[in-house]
Amino acid sequence: MKIESPRIPANLPSRSFHDILLEEDLELELCEIQHANFENETIHTARLSQMTLKNCQFNHTNFEKIDLTDVTFEKCDFSNANLSKASIHRVKFMDCKLLGVNFTESRFGNVHFEDCVLNLSMFGNSKLEKVKFKNSLLKNTDFYDCKLKNIELQNCNIDGGNFEETSLKGIDLSSSTFEELHVTLPNLRGCKVSPTQAIQFATLLGLIVKD
């Protein structure tokens, strides 16, 4: 699956993330931001586009209805932030901490999570299309009643994940690991798993597998 990369010009000028508070439309674009500390803030319906952010802190910040387009986040911390009802397109999260982030009722397109921690994050009632999770932790992550299309999970830990009321048709879990998953039985049809995982699912369904 080919995921479109963020379309970001080279040689961007540096800015402070707090500059967004000076903008009438709460918008930042065409810039690079490093080492921002924007914790415990609230900005609704903000827009970030064509920019890179590195080593920034956004813990407990309320970004409800944020619009992210053509953005790269590297080594940023969004722990317990609220990004519900967000629009996230052509965005890359690299080595980011997204522990407990609220992504509910959001729309994702051409998004790449790599080497990220997404434990306890919430994607419920979201639509995800062309999204790749690679080498990431998604323990106890909630994908309740999501629409998943062209999703890749490569070498991820998805233990305890909740996929209830979410179709896993065409989703390949074979390279990822889990001890327990919460799924809706009919929605497992068409899910791709390894032989070991097939036994795990059988056990979860109450079957007794004999050699």
Band (201; pLDDT cuts 50, 70, 90): confident
Task: Assess if CATH 2.160.20.80 describes domain 28-204.
Answer: yes
Which own/partner pairs from 159-164 qualify as long-range (CB within 8 Å, at least 24 positions apart)? Answer: 163/187
- How does pLDDT run across 11-36, given as a tens digit for each residue? 999 999 999 999 889 999 999 999 99
Whether the per-residue pLDDT at 208 is higher than 80: the answer is no
Q: Which residue carries 């992504």 as its tokens?
A: 103
Q: What is the pLDDT of residue 157?
A: 98
Question: What's the rounded mean pLDDT across residues 73-94?
Answer: 98
Greatest extent of the chain over all pairs of C-alpha atoms, in Å: 67
- How does pLDDT run across 106-141, given as a tens digit for each residue? 999 999 999 999 999 999 999 999 999 999 999 999
* DSSP secondary structure string for all residues of 121-167: -B-TT-EEEEEEEES-B-TT-B-TT-EEEEEEEES-B-TT-EETT--
Question: What's the rounded mean pLDDT across residues 144-173?
Answer: 96
pTM: 0.94
Instruction: Residue count of the chain, please give it.
Output: 211
Q: What is the pLDDT of residue 93?
A: 98
Q: What is the pLDDT of residue 115?
A: 98
Q: Which residue carries 């690679």 as its tokens?
A: 134
Question: What's the rounded mean pLDDT across residues 147-155?
Answer: 97
Q: What is the pLDDT of residue 191?
A: 92
Question: What's the rounded mean pLDDT across residues 30-50?
Answer: 97
Whether the per-residue pLDDT at 205 is higher than 90: the answer is no
Band (8; pLDDT cuts 50, 70, 90): very high
Band (204; pLDDT cuts 50, 70, 90): confident
Q: What is the pLDDT of residue 202?
A: 78
Q: What is the pLDDT of residue 150?
A: 96
* DSSP secondary structure string for all residues of 70-108: EEEEES-B-TT-B-TT-EEEEEEEES-B-TT-B-TT-EE
Whether the per-residue pLDDT at 196 is higher than 90: the answer is no
Name 162's bridge partners.
142, 182
Q: Which residues contact 205 (CB under 8 A, 6 or more apart)?
A: 185
